[in-house]
Amino acid sequence: MSKVSSDVHVAYMRQALDLARLSPPKPSNFRVGAVLVDVATDTVLATGYTLELPGNTHAEQCCFLKLAEKHGVAEEELAQLPKVKLPRQLALYTTMEPCSFRMSGNLPCVQRVLRLAAAADTPLPREVTVYSGVTEPDTFVSKNTGRQTLETAGIQFVHVPGLEDEILAVAKAGHETKEGQADK
């Protein structure tokens, strides 16, 4: 990764972190932010953060739901052409590794990413790269396999270093500490 591209990745990760700060601190979830970018034009297509939309919504889920709304389709139809014309190369910046399991029964974010990458009827497959700030801690679901699942499916997964402590502090706000006091 060159310095120029590294700076761009850090800037998008900071944008995702700013979104994560908008999520309400709760003891039952991580505060996560997500930014979806058209790589060719360096344009933000959609953003999201944990609990931005009604229900037990994750950041990536909100991001994709908002993108679907822009295109007038259901989220599960985002990869379907000609209904939706998404760029061939997408970058998803998320402060935390996408989840591989949802205790709520909602579709895991990893499956949402895989669905988005599965562009039908295109001469070339859609390329999605996931940039993540931290691995999901084992707080709610142990041994998240998000990264492994994405890489096995051929989706590049890149760790963006340098913001781990800040991301985790924001993500865990509202959680109980060892002394029994909630983090602020």
pTM of the model as a whole = 0.89
Task: Give the per-residue pLDDT at 2.
Answer: 39
Predicted pLDDT at 1: 41
**CA-to-CA separations, 99 to 45, 58, 69, 83, 87, in angstroms, rounded:** 21, 9, 23, 27, 24
Q: Active site residue: 60, 75, 97, 136, which one?
A: 60
Q: Where are the beta strands (DSSP E) in the chain?
A: 33-38, 43-49, 89-96, 127-134, 156-159
Q: What is the pLDDT of residue 176?
A: 76
Catalytic annotation on 127?
no
pLDDT of residue 3: 43
Give me the helices (H) in 32-75, please. Answer: 59-71
Q: Which CATH superfamily is domain 3-171 in?
A: Cytidine Deaminase, domain 2 (3.40.140.10)
Report d(CA 153, CA 124) in Å as an integer.
16
Report the C-alpha gap between 43 and 86 in whole angstroms: 12
CB 139 within 8 A of CB 30: yes
Low-confidence ranges of the chain (pLDDT < 70): 1-5, 81-83, 119-125, 141, 177-184
* Per-domain residue ranges of the chain: 3-171
Give the model's pLDDT for residue 113: 95
Show the tokens assigned to 83: 């209904």
In sequence order, what are the residues at sequence separation of 6 or more whose Cβ sits closer than 8 angstroms to the Cβ of residue 122?
81, 88
